[in-house]
Structure formats: C-alpha cells, structure tokens
Amino acid sequence: MLVEEKEMRVLSPTAILGYGFPLDSFRRGIAKGPHVIAVDAGSIDPGPYYLGSGNSFTDYKAVKRDLEVILTSCYDLGIPLVIGTAGGSGANMHLNWCLEIIREVVRENKLSFKAAIVEAEIPRNRLLKKLELGKIKKLFPHEEITLGDLEQSTAIVGQMGIEPFIKAFEFGADIIIAGRAYDPAVFACYPIFKGYDKALSLHMGKILECACIAATPGSGSDCMMGYIRKDHFCLEPLNETRRCTTTSVAAHTMYEKSNPYLLPGPGGALDLRFTSFEQVNEGVVKVKGSKYITSNQYTVKIEGAGLIGYRALSIAGARDPIFIGNVQEIILEVKKRVEDNFQDLIDPYFLTFRLYGRDGVMGAMEPLKNYACHELGIVIEAVSKSQEIANTICSFARSTMMHYGYPKRIATAGNLAFPFSPSDLEAGKVYKFLIHHLVEVDDPMELFKIRIAQI
C-alpha cells in the first residue's frame, strides 16, 4: 500500500504471545519498516485458575519461539517492543515467568536491551484503604466487594492504561514488559507518546490487540500492521491469503463490548458514534472519526482470584435413546441419591452434569429445546473443599448414573461408555474470580511500579 511520510507503523505479530505466527507474514511486516512491535501476552478469557495459581495458560517453548523471532528483529532494527499482560494473567509470578524467557533468549542470541518492567500486582493493604474510603465500585456482574474477597484472593492485579507505558518510554526503555494491562494501551502507547491522536491510537489498538482476527478469514495466529496518521489509521493483514474489509474491521470494533458506541477503559472511553470505515483497496481498510471522552474520575479495573475448592471429573458417553429421552429425570434422581447417601457430610459440595450434544455449551440459553440427539457426551463435575470429598462425590454420582434403572430400560450392563480408564479424573484446585471491580485513583501511576533493568 502507499506509505505517507508522517505515519507510524505498528506491527502486531499475534493475538497472544505464544500463539505463534507464520514467519513469512512476520518477515513481510518487517520489510515494511515498523516503528514498534507490540504484543498482548495474556487474557482474562481462560478463567480464574491462571491468575489464582500463578501459572501461565501459554506454553514456555511456544512463548520462547515467538520472543526469539520478535526480540532479534527489534534488536536488528533498533525499534522498541511492548509486551502487555505478561505471562498470561499479569501478576508478578507471570511477569517474572515471562522475564525468565526473555533473559534466556537475550543470553542465547547475545542481545542487549534497556528494559522497563511494570508491575501490575496490587498489595492487599493498598486496596484495603481504598475499600475503607468507598473507592472500590462494583462492575457487572459482580456485587459490592467485601473484605473477604480481598483476603481470599491469592493475587490481585490492576489493568493499567497508557500512562505507565509512556513513563517507561520517557525513561528510555528499549523494551517494556508489563503486567496486567488494558489491551489497546499496549498498541496505542507508543503512537500517543510520539504525539498521534489518542482516540485513533486506542481504536487502532483495539483492533491490533487480536492481530489478524479482524481480517477475513480471521486468525489469532497471524500478523497485522497498523498505520496511524494525522486523522485516520489503516489496517493491513500481512498474510496474502487474508483481507481486511469494512465489515470485518467494523465487526471487530464491536468485539467484547457492552455498548456498540462506547468502549470504556482506564481514564475515559472511546466514542465511536462518528467513526467511518473505508475500503482503500482489496485488503486495506481506513478508519477515521473516532473520538475520546475523558472521565471525570480516573478508574482502574482490578481482578482477583481465590481458591474455593478442588475438582473431580468423569467423562462419559450415552447412546441409548431411552436413556437420552429420560436424562433430565435421571440426573435429578442421581443427585437425590448422592444427597441421601452423604447427608452427614460436613463439607458442602457442588455437583453438576454437562450434556454435550444437547445444551452443554449454551445451558439454559439453548434455543433448541426439543432437539433429538442420537448420542450425548456427559461431563460429571464435583467440587468440594478437599480433593478427597470431590473424588468421593464424583465417583458415587458416576457409579449411580452408570447403573441407574430408568423406566423402560432394556440393557442392564451399564448406561454409560467411558473413553478413559480410570474413569474419574482429579482436576485439582478450583479458583473463582472474587474481584472484578473498579477502583478510583488520584494518579494513573498510583497502583503500578516501574523498574529499569539492563537485560
């Protein structure tokens, strides 16, 4: 595509560090002369386990592969690298895990960087003071935060905006490795630091955070280039098999939003009421007209996860049409049998049955209520305060359903088929999001700590 003199080129290699990207796409992006490479390294989407446990949902070797390609290119070109939500969830354990990989890549490839490491994990006592002052607000679907939520959370992070990144650039950082971050900020920070429009930068960041998912066919494992200029930005997939269209880019603008016209974030909201999308050529889309509304009160989204118990699972299949037709009644009876058998149990337990092939994905929202499936996949899940009790409840529920005598049953050898032996699986610790709230701050940097290190 045509390149204007006054533009910044932001290369997004992949939707999440460790998800990979084709080398041909990346090299095509490098050949276009990016001014910065930015990449999101995590998400809240995989659930609370990773934040609570301190583990990453991405693989060490996969992340190392991506980082080796990216870091060597940044070093050769002399351009900065920005990483947000390092290690998957962005707490200090995740941040240090990502740093370990970076140090390994740098050492093996004889590189050197001035790095800014931005911590997003928030000390509990700091939030206790905010709670006492009434400065923590509920965020749907959670209720008001409690002291118990703070105490039970094993890790609490804040979703940083652009300000810590810009401060890191002011310190002269070559690379920024940040904990939990507002995804668009990772891509918008460098253009804003260099004087480009805030609204356009954040909107472009909203698209680039997912790399080529905004293209057609979409992919989270392919590269996208953003070109930001004075009054617009353009998006271009770097794989010749993909195209950006006005529909694909507008659709992704609506992605993960509760309001089609407003996208709230730290310190304000993106106003999309006057945004326009224009097809520049077969694969490139131009976006303009986005505005930014500054909030009267700067807020930071905080996330916290805590241990609530242990899980056991049993996975089974059923194909008897009589069983399938009576499965809801059978589940109710199995639950009654479990309750009756363990009525003296002190510890509470949670028992559920997910029916894949009927409503295992949508649950109560499944619109096809009377759909006649010919087989069912059944996941029996038990959760309790100890692994031992979870195992007991799961085992008893599985054996009861296996041999339950339902009306008009013909076969007596068993109602369920098991793909695995043993049929019961210990899934270990269960975490829950206890904190999903907004905290009011006096300074956007208030909750975040920056340290500079030579790597």
377 and 236 in a common domain: no
pLDDT score for 140: 87
Looking at residues 33-38, what average pLDDT do you find? 98
Q: Which helix (H) or strand (E) holds 127?
A: helix 124-132
Whether residue 225 contacts residue 31, with contact meaning beta carbons closer than 8 Å, is answered with: no
Alpha-carbon radius of gyration of the chain = 25
In 3D, which of 213, 254, 305, 267 has the Cα closest to residue 21?
213
Query: Over the stretch 321-380, which tens digit does the pLDDT of each residue have?
Result: 999 999 999 999 999 999 999 999 888 999 999 999 999 999 989 998 888 899 999 999
441 and 395 in a common domain: no
pLDDT score for 2: 41
Q: Which helix (H) or strand (E) holds 428?
A: strand 424-440
pLDDT score for 371: 80
Q: How many CA atoms lie within 13 A of 332 on its CB side?
A: 5
Report if residue 397 sits inside a domain: yes
CA atoms of 116 and 167, how far apart (whole Å): 9
Whether residue 204 contacts residue 187, with contact meaning beta carbons closer than 8 Å, is answered with: yes
Helix axes 387-403, 327-341, angle to 10 degrees: 130
103 and 198 in a common domain: yes
Report if residue 364 sits inside a domain: yes
396 and 362 in a common domain: yes
Report if residue 314 sits inside a domain: no
Report if residue 310 sits inside a domain: no
Report if residue 309 sits inside a domain: no
244 and 162 in a common domain: yes
In 3D, which of 110, 82, 87 has the Cα closest to residue 98?
87
68 and 146 in a common domain: yes
- Give percent of the chain above pLDDT 90: 93
pLDDT bin (cut points 50, 70, 90) of residue 309 is very high
Stronger pLDDT, 177 or 346, i.e. the higher one: 177
86 and 178 in a common domain: yes
Torsion, Cα 387 393 399 400, to 10 degrees, reads -170
Give every CB contact of residue 405 below 8 A, 6+ residues apart in sequence. none
* Beta strand segments in 120-237, E: 136-138, 153-158, 175-178, 224-228, 233-237
pLDDT score for 346: 85
DSSP 3-state of 225: strand
Q: How many CA atoms lie within 13 A of 93 on its CB side?
A: 12
Q: Is the pLDDT at 3 greater than 60, yes or no?
A: no
In 3D, which of 41, 265, 259 has the Cα closest to residue 162?
265
188 and 71 in a common domain: yes
Looking at residues 376-387, what average pLDDT do you find? 97
Q: Is the pLDDT at 299 greater than 50, yes or no?
A: yes
pLDDT score for 124: 93
**Given the structure tokens 């009054």, which residue do they identify?**
231
CA atoms of 173 and 107, how far apart (whole Å): 18
Q: Where are the alpha helices (DSSP H) in 214-306?
A: 246-253
pLDDT bin (cut points 50, 70, 90) of residue 382 is very high
Query: Over the stretch 406-430, which tens digit does the pLDDT of each residue have?
Result: 999 988 889 999 999 999 999 999 9
CA atoms of 433 and 251, how far apart (whole Å): 29
337 and 290 in a common domain: no
Whether residue 94 contacts residue 88, with contact meaning beta carbons closer than 8 Å, is answered with: yes
Q: Is the pLDDT at 1 greater than 60, yes or no?
A: no
167 and 234 in a common domain: yes
DSSP letter (8 states) at residue 212: B
Looking at residues 269-279, what average pLDDT do you find? 97
DSSP 3-state of 388: helix
CA atoms of 109 and 225, how far apart (whole Å): 26
- Amino acid code (one letter) for 155: A
Report if residue 105 sits inside a domain: yes
Tokens found for residue 311: 């899980």
334 and 231 in a common domain: no
Report if residue 308 sits inside a domain: no
Q: Is the pLDDT at 5 greater than 80, yes or no?
A: no
Report if residue 32 sits inside a domain: yes
Q: Is the pLDDT at 264 greater than 60, yes or no?
A: yes
Domain count, the chain: 2
Task: State the average pLDDT for the chain.
Answer: 96
Whether residue 353 contacts residue 323, with contact meaning beta carbons closer than 8 Å, is answered with: no
333 and 289 in a common domain: no
Q: Is the pLDDT at 158 greater than 60, yes or no?
A: yes
Q: Is the dihedral of CA 438, 440, 444, 450 positive or negative?
A: negative
CA atoms of 314 and 426, how far apart (whole Å): 9
- Tell how strand 268-271 and strand 114-119 pair up: unpaired
What is the DSSP annotation of 311-368?
Answer: EEEEEEEE--HHHHHTHHHHHHHHHHHHHHHTTT-SS-EEEEEEEETTTTTTGGG-S-
CA atoms of 157 and 149, how far apart (whole Å): 13
DSSP 3-state of 109: helix
Query: Over the stretch 104-151, which tens digit does the pLDDT of each residue have?
Result: 999 999 999 999 999 999 999 999 999 999 999 999 888 999 999 999
Query: Over the stretch 179-220, which tens digit does the pLDDT of each residue have?
Result: 999 999 999 999 999 999 999 999 999 999 999 999 999 999
Domain that holds residue 325: 320-416
Whether residue 116 contacts residue 177, with contact meaning beta carbons closer than 8 Å, is answered with: yes
Looking at residues 254-259, what average pLDDT do you find? 88
User: Model pTM?
Assistant: 0.93
Whether residue 83 contacts residue 426, with contact meaning beta carbons closer than 8 Å, is answered with: no
Full strand arrangement of the beta sheet holding 268-271: 262-265, 268-271, 291-294
